[in-house]
Amino acid sequence: MGLFINFFKKENKIDKKFYKNLSNNIFDYFHSRQVAGKSKIFKKKSLKNSIKYYSNILKLKKKNSLAKEIVEKILFIDNSNLNWGQNDNYNSVNSKSFATEFLDV
């Protein structure tokens, strides 16, 4: 999905592999939920996959939680459609949804 800015580099010693794994699971989760016009067999398989990906997301977030320490930094975001745009997506995954899941907002 691209380059991520690590705002908490000093506070959190998480390696690049974690961020890549997290972003891949989030991307795969949202991508697996797009089943419009697909067969029932494909929908069932996609549902199983989406559950697996979401479980991986939760495990990764829990294992590498920033909540273990007090962080004194603030990131302001504008969660409006004016900022992201209606059709702002990559490979059919909405950028706003991806960022919301990635940043826990």
Query: Considering the domain boundaries, does residue 44 fall inside one?
Result: yes
Q: State how many domains the chain has.
A: 1
Query: Considering the domain boundaries, does residue 4 fall inside one?
Result: no
**pLDDT tens digits, one per residue of 33-86:** 989 899 999 999 999 999 999 999 999 888 877 555 555 655 555 656 556 566
DSSP-derived 3-state class of residue 94? strand
Query: Considering the domain boundaries, does residue 53 fall inside one?
Result: yes
Query: Considering the domain boundaries, does residue 61 fall inside one?
Result: yes
Query: Considering the domain boundaries, does residue 48 fall inside one?
Result: yes
Query: Considering the domain boundaries, does residue 30 fall inside one?
Result: yes
Q: From residue 80, how far is each of 9, 61, 84, 92, 93 by CA, in Å?
A: 27, 25, 7, 19, 17
DSSP-derived 3-state class of residue 66? helix
Q: Which domain holds residue 93?
A: 16-97
Closest by CA position to 64, among listed 10, 22, 7: 22
Region at 75 (left for phi over 0; alpha for psi -120 to 50; beta for the rest) = beta
Cite the beta strand spans of 39-90 per DSSP E: 89-90
Query: Considering the domain boundaries, does residue 105 fall inside one?
Result: no
What is the value of pTM for the model shown?
0.65
Task: Please state, in angstroms and rounded to a whole number, the distance separating the CA atoms of residues 38 and 73.
Answer: 44
Span of 18-27, 45-54, 92-101 with lowest mean pLDDT: 92-101
pLDDT at 89 over 60: yes
Contact (Cβ atoms closer than 8 angstroms) between residue 32 and residue 50: yes
Query: Considering the domain boundaries, does residue 11 fall inside one?
Result: no
